Amino acid sequence: MQRTLVMVLCVALLTGCAGSGTTQSDAAKPFAARAALVLDGQSGEYVDWATLVLAAADADVVFIGEMHGHKKGLAVAAALWEDIVASAQTAGRDPALSMEFFERDQQVGLDDYLTGVTDEAAFRKATNRTEGNYPPGHRAMIETAKATGARVYAANAPRRYSSKARSEGFADLQALRASQQRLFVIPRDMPVGAYKDRFFELMAGMMAAHAEDGADEIDETEKQSMLESFFRAQSVWDATMADTICTALAAGRAPVVHVVGQFHADREGGTVARVRQRWPRAAIVTISMSESEGDMLIADDRERALFVIPVGPSSE
């Protein structure tokens, strides 16, 4: 039972702790990404697209918190990245794209494609891109970077290392060779407070749902141990992505636009917090997609991010 539960929770981690329902009702409707409603994440006031783009293009770091596989949300993110690049480059800046969904050992395959060494088919093979993990929105972002010469960073730690952190702790990672340690970052400290509390609440809820499906319940001690182990894996991802972002900043690139599952960034989530820790003076803009459908900021979205973009439920 525990092995099955671990697999369920691993899937949750690998999709950024974000889930969304799917409907077919609006699949055929045209969607104008740049006409999406943008709201101030605190006041709920309307923000026009040009203001959003300018704020992002002037920042040092931009976090776009996405819902994985959400077509409209990804279309908005892709349009936003395209406009940020245009605005930033016009102003003489050097924007870069940082992506959770590419792991550090895929950087060469990514660079080979961006610089024209390989074609798209070879790129997809080298970086293990499939229809499932390379949706149209992500492809549009990569193609914008390729067309404009913007650098793209494979931001995340390979899953085998975060899995090792989960199952065996940090000591074994610290014993690996330098060539391996370049692919991940071990957090210097473990987060406490609201981010950890939200993570534990989410994962505990998944455990409870798994138990309701007929699995045996686990005792409180075992549950706590499992939660801590998964939080170690999450923290390796946060630390590695933050390190990638700061590496781009140190190279003079800005804004660094980091596209990531929204749990990592919403409400000053783990990746945002680690960038602030590493680069305290960075001007950071956070943007989050929401499944809400109205034209007002709902209570659950208030202070989720500096800007909130309601894109409605997911559709396929």
Alpha-carbon distance 154 to 75, whole Å? Answer: 20
Per-residue pLDDT in tens (0 to 9) along the chain, 316 residues = 454 445 445 545 545 554 443 333 344 456 899 999 999 999 999 999 999 999 999 999 999 999 999 999 999 999 999 999 999 999 999 999 999 999 999 999 999 999 999 999 999 999 999 999 999 999 999 999 999 999 999 999 999 999 999 999 999 999 999 999 999 999 999 999 999 999 999 998 888 776 666 556 677 888 899 999 999 999 999 999 999 999 999 999 999 999 999 999 999 999 999 999 999 999 999 999 999 998 999 999 999 999 999 999 987 5
Q: What is the 3-state secondary structure (H, E, C) of the chain?
A: CHHHHHHHHHHHHHCCCCCCCEECCCCCCCCCHHHCCCEECCCCCECCHHHHHHHHHCCCEEEEEECCCCHHHHHHHHHHHHHHHHHHHHCCCECEEEEEEEEHHHHHHHHHHHCCCCCHHHHHHHCCCCCCCCCHHHHHHHHHHHHHCCEEEEEECCHHHHHHHHHHCHHHHHCCCHHHHCCCCCCCCCCCCHHHHHHHHHHHHHHHHHHHCCCCCCCHHHHHHHHHHHHHHHHHHHHHHHHHHHHHHHCCCECEEEEEEHHHCCCCCHHHHHHHHHCCCCCEEEEEEECCCCCCCCHHHCCCCCEEEECCCEEC
- In this structure, the number of other CB atoms found within 10 A of the CB of residue 128 comes to 12
Structure tokens at 76: 């908005």
Q: Domain residue spans in the chain?
A: 34-311
34-311: in CATH 3.90.1010.20:
no
pLDDT at position 207 is 83
pLDDT at position 31 is 84
